[in-house]
Structure 1
Amino acid sequence: MSRPLTLIHGWGMSPAVWTSLRAGFAATHEVFTPALPGHDAHCDRAIDEGDWVAKLVDALPDQSAVIGWSLGGQLAMRIAIDHPHKVSRLVLVGTTPCFVQQPGWTHALDADTVTGFRNEFANDPSQTLKRFVALQAMGEADRKGLSRELGKALIPVDSDNAGTLARGLDLLSTIDLRSELSRIGCPVRIFHGSKDALMPEGAAHWLADHIESAQLTCFDDAGHAPFLSRPEEFRRLVRRFLDG
């Protein structure tokens, strides 16, 4: 069996979002799908932000191939930077080094939009999560179908995990890896939807330009979750990368 494969999901979703991808690699890889804090049945009551990475590091086998999606991709980059023995190959899907616009950084959402989303979550978390699913499906020919598929992996929010989920939004708002990407030493493959409404395509091109030897594939007419909307092509390209 090939090297272990770890799949790190995005904010607001559960590891169930990987069900079909995991099945596609189960015959050739030992597949791990750790949950982000607050995203499973275990109650992580608003743990410190640094503990998000520590929890994932504990769940990763050494020399794992890692696929990180959205916030999961940002955390996977942080692990590859600070714990290089954990990541042998890195696949980034629909992610960015910096989620919020900064001076000189336009490949992101503006700060007011992100602040508004965080306020909406604080006031009505369940409805905000449903809106988040709709945003992820934007740009897809079958928006309703993809929304239904994403909805199956949407986590229920309650008083036990709402605080930790809010910390996840804090991470999205504050992570900025742009100055540290040169420290990623493993092979990197980047996938992005050309119509991603959450992570602009320009961020993916920027990543490809600033991570040594990284390769980028953009899926035309795809949104934030191309591994679900383009499953066969995505699996084929990832397998080629992992076997290379």
Structure 2
Amino acid sequence: MMSKQIGMNGTTAANGGGDASAAKAKRPKLLWVHGWGMSPETWRHLAAELPALDHRYVSYASCRTIEELREAVSLPFRLEPEGEWHAIGWSMGGMLLLEALAAWMAGPSSPAMPAVRSIVFCGTTLRFIDDTGQAGWPDRVVARMRRRLAHAPEETLRAFAECLPSAAERDDAGLRRVLAQYRARTACSAPAPMAAAQPASPESGVHAFTPEGLEAGLAYLQQADLAAAWARVTAAPAGPRLLWLHGADDTVCPLGAVKRAQALNGQRNAARFAVLPQAGHVPFLTQPARWRKELTSWYDNDIGFNRDSASISGRERE
């Protein structure tokens, strides 16, 4: 299987597999978009479970500003405009994906929209700032996190990692081991100085953020309000199929985020929602069997993805 890491400088590097065959070139592409404080490595074992797709990974490694975070998400589509795309966005990554999609749909003067067939949003939100704490975090909490990040980045990342599992997941010995391994990778891969930052391959354990990028990510979370973007996307009859997966006990983007999205869900391209019982903010790490079941159902049934023929068939856009 060939996978590519796409950096902000517009270059691509193949990770194994040599030159793609003509058959592979026609395969649908799946873009994995991670969130704040993680890296493309997060997705490696998950991508391996979808061998009939060509996988691409967003890199924030060169990003220093909010605008560069946005650019990092839209860049892969521009570099490879041909063929059909799918995308999975987690947390902040889902927000950036939604924003890009809405921008393409904004009107005739907008950039040409790539052929995005489906998007899976996982543990995301339309607005991270919520002073009630029911759909996100209060602004004062994120502001304090930004101050702490400036003085103690590694400690800030570790504290964030502690928020990822649900209470039930913390009590499960097996899940504790999974999360301990993640925290160990985080602890030994604090952001490199800006001059040394390089696009990380999905196989590496390198943190895929500069210090400035981490700061920009928190600033984005404080500012972004995607209610209008979501309404536009779910009202568009020719838009991509949308699936929203969310942990029932997510404390980073609490369940109120799902209720808000459902309330604004358009009817012409309405999203499908699935809430995973007892799951926290990273169900792809802590609840892999449930995650796999939802994705299998989504790609095989809702999208009509046939792994044997490596093709997309079934339901077409309206």
User: Does the 8 Å contact 1:73/1:95 carry over to 2?
Assistant: yes
1:161-200 matches, cutoff 5 A: 161-184=210-233, 185-200=239-254
Query: CA, structure 1 residues 45+191, in 2 after alignment: closer, same or farther (shift >3 Å)?
Result: closer
- What does residue 65 of structure 1 align with? 86
More helix by share: 1
Q: Deviations over 1:169-201 (max 9, x none)?
A: 111111110122122122110111111111011
Give the drift of 1:153: 5.3
CA RMSD of aligned residues (A): 2.1
Q: Does 1:101 align with 2:130?
A: yes
In 2, Cα distance between the equivalents of 1:123 and 1:138? Answer: 28
1:108-147 matches, cutoff 5 A: 108-139=136-167, 140=169, 141-142=171-172, 144-147=176-179
1:71-86 matches, cutoff 5 A: 71-83=92-104, 84-85=113-114
- What does residue 35 of structure 2 align with? 10
Equivalent residue of 1:85, what SS?
Answer: coil
2:284 to 204, 227, 238: 227
Query: CA, structure 1 residues 153+53, in 2 after alignment: closer, same or farther (shift >3 Å)?
Result: farther
TM-score by length of 2: 0.68
Query: CA, structure 1 residues 125+231, in 2 after alignment: closer, same or farther (shift >3 Å)?
Result: same
User: Does the 8 Å contact 2:165/2:286 carry over to 1?
Assistant: no
Give the drift of 1:134: 0.9
Paired AA for residue 129 in structure 2: V
In 2, Cα distance between the equivalents of 1:193 and 1:149? Answer: 21
Q: Which consecutive unaligned segments of at least 5 residues does structure 2 have?
A: 1-23, 105-112, 195-209, 234-238, 304-318
Give the drift of 1:135: 0.8
**Rg bigger for which structure?**
2
2:192 to 126, 151, 158: 158
1:54 to 68, 71, 74: 71
Give the drift of 1:130: 0.9
TM-score by length of 1: 0.88
Query: CA, structure 1 residues 210+149, in 2 after alignment: closer, same or farther (shift >3 Å)?
Result: farther
Query: CA, structure 1 residues 3+208, in 2 after alignment: closer, same or farther (shift >3 Å)?
Result: farther
Give the drift of 1:34: 1.8
Q: Does 1:201 align with 2:255?
A: yes
Equivalent residue of 1:234, what SS?
Answer: helix
In 2, Cα distance between the equivalents of 1:23 and 1:93? Answer: 18
User: Does the 8 Å contact 2:37/2:214 carry over to 1?
Assistant: yes
In 2, Cα distance between the equivalents of 1:153 and 1:239? Answer: 28
Give the drift of 1:202: 1.2
1:90 to 105, 114, 119: 119
In 2, Cα distance between the equivalents of 1:45 and 1:236? Answer: 34
Q: Which consecutive unaligned segments of at least 5 residues does structure 1 have?
A: 39-43
User: Does the 8 Å contact 2:86/2:117 carry over to 1?
Assistant: yes
Give the drift of 1:86: 5.0
In 2, Cα distance between the equivalents of 1:208 and 1:30? Answer: 31
Paired AA for residue 243 in structure 2: R
In 2, Cα distance between the equivalents of 1:90 and 1:174? Answer: 23
User: Does the 8 Å contact 1:65/1:89 carry over to 2?
Assistant: yes
Equivalent residue of 2:178, what SS?
Answer: helix
User: Does the 8 Å contact 1:190/1:208 carry over to 2?
Assistant: no
Equivalent pairs: percent with the same residue? 24
